[in-house]
Amino acid sequence: MPRSLRVSHECIEKVKIAVTRNGYPHQRALAHDTGLSLATVSNFLTGKPVSYATFEELCCRLNLDWRQITTTNEEVTSISSTKNIQICKKKPEFQDWGTAVDISAFYGRSQELTQLESWILKDSCRLVALVGMGGVGKTTLATQLTKQIQDQFDYVIWRSVPIIPSFDSMITDLLSFISNHKERKPDINRLMHYLRTRRCLIILDNLDTALDVGNTEYIQLIRIIAETNHQSCLIFSSRYKPAEITVLEFPKLPVCCFRLSGSPEIAFALVQSKRLLGTDKQKYELCHLYGNNPLKIKIVANTITNFFNRHIGRFLEEDTLLVSNYIKRLLEQQLNPLSHIEQKILYWLAINPDLTNIADIEKSIVFTVSKSQLLQAMEELYSRSLIEKKRGKYILLPVLLEYVKDRFK
Ligand SMILES: Nc1ncnc2c1ncn2[C@@H]1O[C@H](COP(=O)(O)OP(=O)(O)OP(=O)(O)O)[C@@H](O)[C@H]1O
Ligand SMILES: [Mg+2]
């Protein structure tokens, strides 16, 4: 292990830029935040030797790869070849995964992961919304994404919103963790201070549960995180896209929303993993009928195993889509928050699958609804992933379509 390292002459400028880019207005702020003396920080920034541990800490804070900024003297070359040290490897106490799920069997989503990674790491997105229907795989994808990018952050914290007792306790919890337990009050200004001076990744899963009960403080937090300058990132998952996100998505604000859909690749892999019997065509048909939704596929695969001796063909011969109680509950959860008029329009779309645009719907609809009500309802149904537009037509995924026809007739 070397006793000291120094920034190579040609990289001094790059390191100075990294200081401001990472939210430190001057050396003093960096010294304060790392707990190092001003002289030590100054030595580092001017290419003088500093201890190995200090070098590691500062590279970590400034998101720099130590190999690219050290002098290539013998000492450094020998460590990199013999020990292959992983600088910036997060210490476990800087990660709190809360109730994040185990994802030992993860399939597909490579395009989604590439896009999300690029938004967060290359475009420095401060707020990322992951929205989609229940069971489509938001939590699973957020977990895999976090695993892949965790090393790029000083602090990683995962919280599932439904199990947080109150907004204030959530802020206190985040703040306490990010400040190494120095802060103990729900102070958003202090939280923003830490998000500016440290690079933190916060994941709030199932945010819709707080929004559904009218918890507007979360919206306020989202807005502050999007609009304030800092070097951290908040990822949240929700079954629908909060209207406020659309406003924040304006060009220039580093805010992104990813709308997650069912995936034939994952659905097929899940069917294979359950060892169901049938041709590939039958397997794809089954996946399509359940909207390629991983959770629904898992449930129906159990039904086929238990009642159809694993034969997909026998299940498909049934004339009607069998909807288990579990799937019913999932659908209910998504339909319950809808207003009366939204439910009626959803039913209308289910029984009129050829409608292609708003004017069409307005003309054909048999109950009284104003144009603005119709537009608002369509927006709401779309933001909740209950309708999609395919080949110019508004469609409901098969299981939902059958269920809606049955429930609202
Ligand atoms: N990429 C994947 N690979 C393997 N399994 C997956 C994948 N995505 C989702 N699943 C499985 O599908 C189920 C539902 O996924 P998940 O809980 O992530 O959905 P969700 O969108 O977060 O749902 P909710 O809105 O109810 O929170 C889980 O059992 C999960 O293991
Ligand atoms: Mg989830």
pLDDT digits (tens, 9 = 90+) for 151-173: 899 999 999 988 888 999 999 99
Domain assignment present for 87:
no
> Among residues 205, 230, 259, which one ends one of the domains?
259
Domain that holds residue 363: 330-408
> Do residues 11 and 29 both lie within one domain?
yes
Domain assignment present for 219:
yes
- Counting ligands in written order, the one closest to the CA of 160 is 2
- Banded model confidence at residue 400, pLDDT cuts 50, 70, 90: confident
Give the C-alpha distances (Å, rounded to integers) separating 66 from 5, 120, 150. 10, 21, 18
> Do residues 233 and 210 both lie within one domain?
yes
Residue of 295, 300, 302, 384 to mutate, ligand 1, most atoms within 8 A of C-beta: 295
pLDDT digits (tens, 9 = 90+) for 338-389: 999 999 999 999 888 888 788 888 888 877 888 888 888 998 898 888 988 8
- Banded model confidence at residue 114, pLDDT cuts 50, 70, 90: very high
> Do residues 63 and 103 both lie within one domain?
no
Q: Helices 27-34 and 52-61 meet at what angle, rounded to 10?
A: 110
Domain assignment present for 117:
yes
Number of domains in the chain: 4
> Do residues 242 and 310 both lie within one domain?
no
Q: Is the CB of 108 under 6 A from ligand 1?
A: yes
> Do residues 96 and 197 both lie within one domain?
yes
Q: Work out the average pLDDT over 48-53.
A: 81
> Do residues 70 and 114 both lie within one domain?
no
CA pair distance 44, 54, nearest whole angstrom: 9
CA 136 to chain centre: 13
Q: For 385, left (φ over 0), alpha (ψ -120 to 50), or beta? A: left
Decide if pLDDT at 190 tops 90.
Answer: yes
DSSP 97: -
> Among residues 259, 285, 305, which one ends one of the domains?
259
19-28, 78-87, 228-237: lowest mean pLDDT where? 78-87
Q: Work out the average pLDDT over 395-408.
A: 84
Decide if pLDDT at 267 tops 90.
Answer: yes
Q: Which residues lie near ion ligand 2 (Cβ < 5 Å)? A: 138-139
The count of other CB atoms within 10 Å of the CB of residue 374 is 17
User: Does residue 84 or residue 171 have the better pLDDT?
Assistant: 171
What is residue 84's predicted lDDT score, i.e. its pLDDT? 37
> Do residues 99 and 241 both lie within one domain?
yes
> Do residues 253 and 289 both lie within one domain?
no
> Do residues 310 and 251 both lie within one domain?
no
Residue of 139, 241, 330 to mutate, ligand 1, most atoms within 8 A of C-beta: 139
Pairing of strands 4-5, 127-131: unpaired
Domain assignment present for 362:
yes
